[in-house]
Amino acid sequence: MKKIIVSGGLGFIGSNLIDLLIKKNYFVINIDKVTYSSNFYNTKEYNKLKNYKFIKCDIKENKIKKILFRYRPVGIFNLAAETHVDRSIDNPNNFIQSNIVGVYNLLEYFKEYSKKYKSKLIHISTDEVYGDVLSGRSSENYPYQPSSPYAASKAASDHLVSSYIRTYKIPAIITNCSNNYGPKQHPEKLIPKLIYNILNNKPLPLYGKGINSREWIYVQDHCEALLKVFLKGKIGEFYNIGSNKNLKNLEVSKELINASKKIIKLGKKVKIQFVKDRPGHDLRYALNSNKIKHKLGWYPKTNFRQGIKLTFDWYNKNKNYYKSLSRKDIVKRLGKGWLKKE
């Protein structure tokens, strides 16, 4: 059975990727340093499986080398990262340490490992590295113009990986994906935050006037794309992964309200509430994903209306997911000026 390492596998995208890899009969080694956004609830169904192994480990640790040479994975999906923009505004250092220093450490050990064993590193990044895309869509050769400390840290990690590919000939590929949504996402992010508030009869906070536009992709579609890149992608290439479907945050909220009221009775306090915007908030992200479609044959399967229904339904049936988190991490506003105190 072929072995694959998923770093950050207790998180949102990582745990959904593990779902897919286990179904595809890979032996998955999940390494995670276990932070506030890591959640054992996300992988609880795999603990007794023979093809799943969890190891507590920070990618900044030397322990990474021992894991690589012991398990000899044919692939590594690097999803170990700090990802919330608001948190990066409050404390950029955590993002520098995890997203840059951590990736550097992983690259150093993977460089050594890949000289002896055939393997492939898939470095997962974000559309936020491109910054505001006010018109059109950013292709893989679009210039990096990150706006937040988070986006800058991811841009730096992308450049590090790219430099190791060129200088040291490591077998790696970089992907940049649009906004993900779906089951198992920490409620610091927009959609699970809104769902939490709907389920608890609270107002739905939106930055500014809710006009910021994002390209939304269902997490399982993203994971299918990552596997396609691993199996068929060309070493040294960048691949954008998106749905080609943009929605403003206000539109997202209205779609979510419509989906949820078909499943539950909405409380009287479930209303859109505009709150103070965060500093440096990009207006629009939009990817051109033609490359992965034409070169690798990947296409997203889930439209937003289907995906948002599936997402709400999961959280509604898995209320213990929220109970497994710190309430402070759910309700506290970060990035200066969040919600008014209740």
Residues 175 and 236 in one domain: yes
Instruction: Decide if 127 is catalytic.
Output: yes
Residues 150 and 205 in one domain: no
Number of domains in the chain: 2
Residues 231 and 259 in one domain: no
CA pair distance 329, 188, nearest whole angstrom: 7
**Does 337 have pLDDT greater than 90?**
no
Residues 143 and 255 in one domain: no
In a domain, 60, yes or no: yes
Q: What is the pLDDT of residues 173-214, one digit of tens each?
A: 999 999 999 999 999 999 999 999 999 999 999 999 999 999
| Catalytic residue (choose from 19, 32, 86, 127) | 127
The one-letter code for the residue type at 130 is Y
Residues 159 and 15 in one domain: yes
Which range is least confidently modeled, 199-208, 300-309, 320-329?
A: 320-329
pLDDT at 324: 87
Residue 187 phi/psi, 5° resolution? -75, 15
Please provide the average confidence, as pLDDT, over all residues in the chain. Answer: 95
| Catalytic residue (choose from 19, 128, 140, 221) | 128
Question: Mean of the pLDDT values across residues 122-131?
Answer: 98
Residues 251 and 221 in one domain: no
pLDDT at 323: 87
- The strands making up 213-218's β-sheet, listed across from edge to edge, are 179-181, 213-218, 246-248
Return the SS3 of 19: helix
Residues 54 and 151 in one domain: yes
Q: Sorting pLDDT into bands at 50, 70 and 90, what band is 341? A: very low
Residues 198 and 169 in one domain: no
Domain that holds residue 274: 190-213+246-280+303-329
* Of 184, 145, 172, nearest in space to 16 by CA: 184
Residues 173 and 99 in one domain: yes
Q: What is the pLDDT of residues 204-243, one digit of tens each?
A: 999 999 999 999 999 999 999 999 999 999 999 999 999 9
**Does 336 have pLDDT greater than 60?**
no
Beta carbons within 8 Å of 198's beta carbon, 6+ residues apart? 204, 256, 257, 260, 264, 266, 267, 270, 312
Q: What residue spans of the chain are helical by DSSP H? A: 12-23, 63-71, 85-90, 92-95, 102-116, 149-168, 190-199, 219-232, 249-260, 290-296, 304-317, 319-323, 327-331
Instruction: Decide if 150 is catalytic.
Output: yes
Q: How many CB atoms sit inside 10 A of residue 104's CB?
A: 16
User: What is the CATH classification number for the domain harbouring 93?
Assistant: 3.40.50.720
| Catalytic residue (choose from 52, 150, 196, 315) | 150
Residue 204 phi/psi, 5° resolution? -105, 105
pTM summary value: 0.95
* Of 220, 228, 204, nearest in space to 314 by CA: 220
* Of 170, 174, 148, nearest in space to 159 by CA: 174
Copy the structure tokens of residue 24.
Answer: 């595809």
Q: Sorting pLDDT into bands at 50, 70 and 90, what band is 325? A: confident
In a domain, 293, yes or no: no
DSSP codes of every residue in 185-231: --TTSHHHHHHHHHHTT--EEEETTS--EEEEEEHHHHHHHHHHHHH
**Does 107 have pLDDT greater than 80?**
yes
pLDDT at 301: 98
Q: What percent of the chain has pLDDT over 90?
A: 93
In a domain, 342, yes or no: no
DSSP codes of every residue in 141-177: TSPP---SHHHHHHHHHHHHHHHHHHHH---EEEEEE
In a domain, 267, yes or no: yes
In a domain, 290, yes or no: no
Instruction: Decide if 19 is catalytic.
Output: no
Residues 164 and 25 in one domain: yes
User: What is the CATH classification number for the domain harbouring 201?
Assistant: 3.90.25.10
Which carries the bigger pLDDT value, residue 335 or residue 95?
A: 95
pLDDT at 327: 73
